Amino acid sequence: MKKRKQVVVALAFVLSVLSWGNAFAQQASGEDVDWAKDFTSRITFNGYAQAGYSWESTDGNIRNDFNLKRTLLWAKARITDRWSFLFMHDFSSVVQEYYTDYRITDDKALTFRLGQFKHSYSMENPLSPTMLELIDVYSQAVLYLAGEGPDPLHGVNYGRDLGAMFYGDLAQGKLHYELAVMNGQGINRRDGNNDKDFLGKLEMRPMDGLRLVVSGQKGKGHAVGRAAWNPEIALGEDYTRDRYSFGVEYKSGQYAPGKYKEARPASIRAEWLGGRDGRVDSQGGYVTVCVPVQNGFDMIASADVYNRNTSVEGWQQSNFTAGVQYWFYKKCRWQLQYTYCLCGSHLGSDRNWFQSQIQMAF
């Protein structure tokens, strides 16, 4: 609560400064007006909230509730034409990101990033929840292997970490690369060991709309909990934590925010991911399809499988999702989805899951 109050006070201060700048501009000379306009033009605010309703049935037992999943606000300051800074906070959770970018080359070939940010592993992890198709957002493999969700060994880290990265676009934008060294411990905490994680991503864009992506991670984790499917790793123990992924995505056109109803592209994205934690291997993949129908309506379908321990039976879960979404204003939408979860013997009974969500973004 104290941290949230500090963030709110900081944002209020920034807004006060901006308001003072605008008021000063109305009374000052021509030169000062230009300075104030330049100051305010270099800072942008964005945010979104996602809230909805969930109904779940398992062996005749029903659970339903309203939920508020995310309420994010971020500010980006363009300090110079090459140098920028971003701060992001989730008011339903914790501080998510704070990093600075510096573009080293005159073009987009080489940029340096330092701070806490979304890491490079997988296709889905760097994508914003405001644009992903599923209400549950990420596939199971990304949730566990990228640190987005419920891996008890790594903890919930929202796919983010502390570190440094070089990235850029080559060959007239047809090749994108990312190379990073990070703590490997996740957000808002110090590294649990002296080993750093190395991450890399290579993205090829041979034609408009098509992406071919490979990514990987090499490092050591420091267990913050115990995992039932990996009992050999004890709390506080250092363990091998390696990752790989390869995927493909095709979009029929470019998304145009100004024509959110008329110009939404059809898309298909597929990815296979794997990892090793200690001596336990895990793997999984997904295929997600989005097809625009008419006047802002999209049809969604997805198949998702993840095996937490490939050496022991009963740790695999498969999710099959179908639904619709309606974009009623730019990044604002309503979603309705049904998911059937087919669970292995160690994961409980199969279940039916209905979800509805509304997203407001600016």
pTM: 0.86
Same domain, 150 and 256: yes
Domain count for the chain, please give it: 2
| Dist. CA 341–CA 118, nearest whole Å | 28
- Per-residue confidence (pLDDT) for residue 32, from 0 to 100: 53
**174 and 204 share a domain?**
yes
Identify whether 39 is part of a domain.
no
Q: What is the pLDDT of residue 168?
A: 98
For the stretch 249-268, pLDDT in tens is 999 987 766 667 766 789 99
Q: Does 82 share its domain with 185?
A: yes
Are 191 and 134 part of one and the same domain?
yes
* Identity at 139, one-letter amino acid code: S
Q: What is the pLDDT of residue 152?
A: 94
* Mean pLDDT (whole number) for 110-121: 97
- Is residue 36 one of the residues assigned to a domain? no
pLDDT above 60 for 5: no
Q: Is residue 75 part of a domain?
A: yes
For the chain, state the CA radius of gyration: 22
In terms of domains, do 15 and 51 share one?
Answer: no
Q: Which residue range is the domain that position 23 belongs to?
A: 1-31
Residues contacting 12, CB < 8 A, separation 6+:
none
Q: Is the model's pLDDT at 153 over the cut of 80? A: yes
Q: Using one digit for the tens of pLDDT, what is the confidence trace for 293-349?
A: 988 999 999 999 999 999 999 999 999 999 999 999 989 999 999 999 999 999 999
Q: What is the CATH number of the domain that holds 157?
A: 2.40.160.10
Task: Note whether residue 214 is domain-resident.
Answer: yes
- Does 7 share its domain with 99? no
Instruction: Report which of residues 165 and 18 the model is more confident about.
Output: 165
Q: Are residues 135 and 49 in the same domain?
A: yes
What is the SS3 assignment for the chain? CHHHHHHHHHHHHHHHHHHHHHHHHHHCCHHHHHHHHHHHHCEEEEEEEEEEEEEEEECCEEEEEEEEEEEEEEEEEECCCCEEEEEEEECCCCEEEEEEEEECCCCCCCEEEEEEEECCCCCCCCCCCCCCCECCECCHHHHHHCCCCCCCCCCCCCCEEEEEEEEEEECCCCEEEEEEEECCCCCCCCCCCCCCEEEEEEEECCCCCEEEEEEEEECEEECCCCCCCCCCCCCCCEEEEEEEEEEEEEECCCCCHHHCCCCCCCEEEEEEEEEEECCEEEEEEEEEEEEEEECCEEEEEEEEEEECCCCCCCCEEEEEEEEEEEEEECCEEEEEEEEEEEECHHHCCCEEEEEEEEEEEC
pLDDT higher than 90, residue 92 = no
Task: Tell me, yes or no, whether 13 and 107 share the same domain.
Answer: no
| pLDDT band with cut points at 50, 70 and 90 for residue 150 | confident
pLDDT of residue 21: 45
The whole-chain average pLDDT of the chain stands at 90
Buried b (16+ CB within 10 A) or exposed e, 278-293: bebebbbbbbbbbebe
pLDDT bucket at 134, cuts 50 / 70 / 90: very high
Domain membership flag for residue 141:
yes
Look up residue 209 and give its two tokens: 């709309």
Same domain, 18 and 132: no
Q: Taking a C-beta distance cutoff of 8 angstroms, is the pair 46, 359 a contact?
A: no
84 and 194, same structural domain?
Answer: yes
Specify the pLDDT at position 33: 52
Q: Is the torsion defined by CA of 48, 99, 214, 243 positive or negative? A: negative
Which candidate, 321, 339, 341, places its Cα nearest to that of 54?
A: 339
Instruction: Give yes or no: residues 5 and 120 share one domain.
Output: no
| Whether 5 and 153 share a structural domain | no
In a domain, 40, yes or no: no
Provide the β-strand partners of residue 360: 49
- Model confidence at 231, in pLDDT bands (50, 70, 90)? very high
pLDDT in tens, 14-68: 444 444 444 444 444 445 556 667 767 889 999 999 999 999 999 989 999 999 9
pLDDT number for residue 258: 65
